[in-house]
């Protein structure tokens, strides 16, 4: 069974701090990884994608991928209360652009 694992949280960080969200995956065939943000009662929206080992930065967000360790992470710098949401990690699996999602990590940024 192919899986993507995330700590459910909640992860609580103070405003302005760095939030670090982590994810591991079991399918060594996965090549592409995605971070979605989901506010309560809303649908997921894509915030970062990463395909190669290393870091990818976009504004306050940095995604990190280590295929040897089967590990993906998302760093959020200068965290804001508006970043409070559930963050879903996903990896591609089995063609047709299918994704396997983790259960999500709930992030709470407190003022």
- Of 51, 80, 81, the C-alpha closest to 63 is 51
Site string for another protein, 67-106 (x = CB under 8 A): ---------------------x-x-x---xxxxxxxxx--
Site of tokens 């760093």: 75
Q: Of the candidates 7, 20, 22, 32, which one interacts with another protein according to CB under 8 A?
A: 32
CA distance 24 to 89: 9
CA distance 62 to 47: 10
CB of 106 to another protein, least distance (A): 11
Rule CB under 8 A: which residues touch another protein?
4, 8, 32, 34, 42-46, 49, 88, 90, 92, 96-104
């Amino acid at each position: 069974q192919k899986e993507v694992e995330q700590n459910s949280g909640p992860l609580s960080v103070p405003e302005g701090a760095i939030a670090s969200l982590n994810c591991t995956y079991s399918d060594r065939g996965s090549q592409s990884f995605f971070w979605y943000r989901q506010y309560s009662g809303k649908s997921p929206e894509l915030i970062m994608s990463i395909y190669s080992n290393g870091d990818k930065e976009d504004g306050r967000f940095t995604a990190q991928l280590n295929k040897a360790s089967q590990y993906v992470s998302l760093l959020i710098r200068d965290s804001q209360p508006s970043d409070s949401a559930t963050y879903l990690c996903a990896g591609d699996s089995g063609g047709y652009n299918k994704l396997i999602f983790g259960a999500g990590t709930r992030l709470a940024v407190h003022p």
